[in-house]
Structure 1
């Protein structure tokens, strides 16, 4: 089931990617990004959120007379989710389509019967789509819908143990006790503001506050936070993409208003979340199984570096420190991230 899900997702992304530029304002064909998040990327840790891989496609800017504006206008008519602009030229609308897999494991993976007070084993394979609208070069609205499969069908056991066998590491022995198969999803909305602080000699400081919420059987939480950045050509994006549930970030990138091709920035940020549900801690929605008592408040701290050459290529590296997510968790987690994006 998971293989079919990924095949359909990749085929859909390719098909939409081909059709979108027909109505795009710019002569471009979109942007492809590969994001890896792993607790052992910069360290030797291997526990909790142990692996995440996400492939995404960002469409070109949608023309004001394109039929692809329909979903934006429909959602905006139902609720005030997208900022208004004096005229269509003051906004930029793009789609992002993505597919990914995340793996969660307990601290001790040597036992066949996991500790019931430790985090459960879980795999999560998903596809999704984002609606991204920038308004007046200062505000970004981000609506995201994600659906996928939690459980053995997500192939978390195979992904982890096959890779461990390849590198000569010990396998995880408790996957028989993972969360059971469940079709699950979530809807997320957030707004990000880009606030310039000062610029001099081609270098700038800005701050990107954000607030949003997610609801669904995978995760339900409210979030608020912000990021401070220093570098060149900060107006290209609002910070790097991340894998939910996590710090806010988006696939959005716009090279049209860059001053020269080269850009970079160092960044640091934080986000706090009030968590109502996390399936990877609370367990399956409609059946009993492994679970732990989650923390109501979770916070992330991050720092990193983004380098890009126009729209052609971008590389991002960062590290995230996440507070304890459940009652018996011995220490906070540190997660490394790396991503590569390039124009098609």
Structure 2
């Protein structure tokens, strides 16, 4: 049976996610080089009979991209453009014991208003690295307006089993990014704890309680593996501030990502560490496989 605490129901959560290639190597600083996301969640009643609860989520984030090095001043030598993306999302997650349906809205902006150049140079001051001159060529300013949709379906889950398998799908449609993803999410329990249902698990971001739900202690390993079809990504193909040679960058239509993570929670704390491998998403990149790390932390109350 799941280990529960009848006095530890939590309906709110604040947290952060930080992606950085330095979390897997002190020598990496390329392509998707840093991401920061702050979020707030609240569990409420759904109002729909089919779903047991709803989680509202507000998110503010920033993504930073650069070529194969943090200071490549000439576009002709870049494997992908410099680009920053600042965004805000609102989403609602409708949840039951076998399904999670998420729908949301997103707003975003590229170029200097994203704060990416400032953020990267600020981080580099701690490593005694000179400011990058390559940002003078970054992708031009463009605003993003669009929608998000995710759907997860439980395939295999029993409390008595040390493994669970789910089918997960994502779609992003806005004026900067448009892509569709599908894959599997697998949890492994080797630590003498049980796996929580998808409706109340840190693995799926649903570990907030509403109604009769109780807090469930979790500690496990997880893999999320999915293929993505890229339709649009203006952080790659967008017009540049300076491009005297008129070089063009091209998307790889299909990419594959594998996220290997360790997840742990207590009554009020969630924590996870991830190593993420991705196939290249830009045809000009010479590196076929890229990797970065991710730290995720949140507080529930």
TM-score by length of 1: 0.75
CA shift for structure 1 position 328 = 2.0
Give the conservation status (yes or no) of the 8 Å contact 1:37–1:52. Answer: yes
Determine if the alignment matches structure 1 residue 50 to structure 2 residue 50. Answer: no
Question: Are the structure 2 counterparts of residues 59 and 138 from structure 1 closer, same or farther at C-alpha, using a change threshold of 3 Å?
Answer: same
Determine if the alignment matches structure 1 residue 264 to structure 2 residue 219. Answer: yes
Q: Which residue matches 1:335?
A: 292
Q: How does 1:16-95 map to 2 (within 5 A)?
A: 28=10, 30-44=12-26, 45-62=28-45, 64=47, 87=49, 90-95=51-56
Q: Which residue matches 1:252?
A: 206
Q: Which residue matches 2:166?
A: 208
Q: Aligned equivalents of 1:263 and 1:61: distance in 2? A: 22
Q: Aligned equivalents of 1:297 and 1:239: distance in 2? A: 28
Question: Are the structure 2 counterparts of residues 305 and 225 from structure 1 closer, same or farther at C-alpha, using a change threshold of 3 Å?
Answer: same
Q: Aligned equivalents of 2:9 and 2:213: distance in 1? A: 16
Greater relative contact order (Cα < 8 A, sep 6+): 2
Give the conservation status (yes or no) of the 8 Å contact 1:120–1:291. Answer: no
Q: Which residue matches 1:246?
A: none
Paired residues in the alignment total 283
Q: Which residue matches 1:195?
A: 155
Q: SS in structure 1 opposite 2:44?
A: coil
Determine if the alignment matches structure 1 residue 97 to structure 2 residue 58. Answer: yes
Q: Which residue matches 2:4?
A: none
Q: Aligned equivalents of 2:183 and 2:60: distance in 1? A: 26
Q: What RMSD, in angstroms, separates the aligned Cα atoms of the two structures?
A: 2.6
Q: Aligned equivalents of 1:111 and 1:320: distance in 2? A: 25
Which runs of 5 or more structure 2 residues have no equivalent in the other structure? 1-7
Q: Aligned equivalents of 1:99 and 1:342: distance in 2? A: 17
Q: Aligned equivalents of 1:95 and 1:255: distance in 2? A: 13
Q: SS in structure 2 opposite 1:40?
A: helix
Question: Are the structure 2 counterparts of residues 197 and 138 from structure 1 closer, same or farther at C-alpha, using a change threshold of 3 Å?
Answer: closer
Q: Aligned equivalents of 1:110 and 1:278: distance in 2? A: 22
Structure with the bigger percentage of strand: 2
Q: Aligned equivalents of 1:273 and 1:27: distance in 2? A: 36
Counterpart pick for 1:321 among 270, 277, 282: 277
Counterpart pick for 1:109 among 37, 48, 70: 70
Give the conservation status (yes or no) of the 8 Å contact 2:142–2:176. Answer: no
Q: How does 1:1-16 map to 2 (within 5 A)?
A: none
Post-superposition Cα deviations, 1:53-87, rounded to whole Å, max 9, x if no partner, equal 000000122364xxxxxxxxxxxxxxxxxxxx6x3
Determine if the alignment matches structure 1 residue 219 to structure 2 residue 180. Answer: no
Structure with the bigger percentage of helix: 1
After the TM superposition, which of the residue ranges 177-186 and 31-40 deviates more from structure 2? 177-186
Question: Are the structure 2 counterparts of residues 318 and 28 from structure 1 closer, same or farther at C-alpha, using a change threshold of 3 Å?
Answer: closer
Q: Aligned equivalents of 1:105 and 1:153: distance in 2? A: 16
Which runs of 5 or more structure 1 residues have no equivalent in the other structure? 1-25, 65-84, 241-249
Question: Are the structure 2 counterparts of residues 259 and 196 from structure 1 closer, same or farther at C-alpha, using a change threshold of 3 Å?
Answer: farther
Question: Are the structure 2 counterparts of residues 290 and 41 from structure 1 closer, same or farther at C-alpha, using a change threshold of 3 Å?
Answer: farther
CA shift for structure 1 position 126 = 1.1
TM-score by length of 2: 0.85
Q: Aligned equivalents of 1:228 and 1:28: distance in 2? A: 25
Q: Which residue matches 2:103?
A: 143
